[in-house]
Amino acid sequence: MGGQTLTVEIADTMEAQVKGLMGRTSLQAKEGMLFIYPHSAVRSFWMKNMVISISIGFFDANQKLIHTADLNAPLAENPSDFTPKHLPSYRSPAPILYALEVPQGWFKKNQIQLGEKFSFLDPEQ
């Protein structure tokens, strides 16, 4: 996307999507997690058990970027002490089929604009 290549973990099961990047202590500049859903819907994300701040991109069924948001890690000695009522929820503004979590600021740093599309590369290449 935008001339950038990322190595992503795929979260395409409910278990993987619920866990997401929870508990990770770092995310490298060209790494991310791609959430792939079985159908388009408005989706919500939160930062439970997160110690790193991230950016998230919301993509429609055509793999087109429709919105980005910066999500800050909760400030607490023990992030697992937070409950859902204490954490903000970040909601896609429209139905999405994909969400991409990357290091915070990645979309801005790489000048990725709304409307850009991503594509999959063959991991064998």
Q: What is the pTM of this model?
A: 0.87
Instruction: Give the domain range for residue 105.
Output: 7-109
User: At a CB cut-off of 8 Å and minimum separation 6, what does 76 contact?
Assistant: 82
Q: How far apart are CA 10 and CA 120, in angstroms?
A: 11
Rounded average pLDDT over 17-36: 92
- Whether residue 99 lies inside any domain: the answer is yes
- Whether residue 79 lies inside any domain: the answer is yes
Tell me the pLDDT tens digit for each residue of 32-86.
Answer: 999 999 999 999 998 878 888 999 999 999 999 999 999 888 765 555 555 555 6
- Whether residue 43 lies inside any domain: the answer is yes
Helix (H) or strand (E) holding 15: helix 14-19
Contact 31, 25 (CB under 8 A): no
Query: What does the pLDDT read at residue 75?
Result: 64
Q: How far apart are CA 27 and CA 63, in angstroms?
A: 23
Tell me the pLDDT tens digit for each residue of 80-124.
Answer: 555 555 667 789 999 999 999 999 999 999 999 999 999 988 766
- Looking at residue 75, which CATH number applies to its domain? 2.60.120.1140
Which two structure tokens, joined as six digits, stand for 68?
């980005």
- Whether residue 96 lies inside any domain: the answer is yes
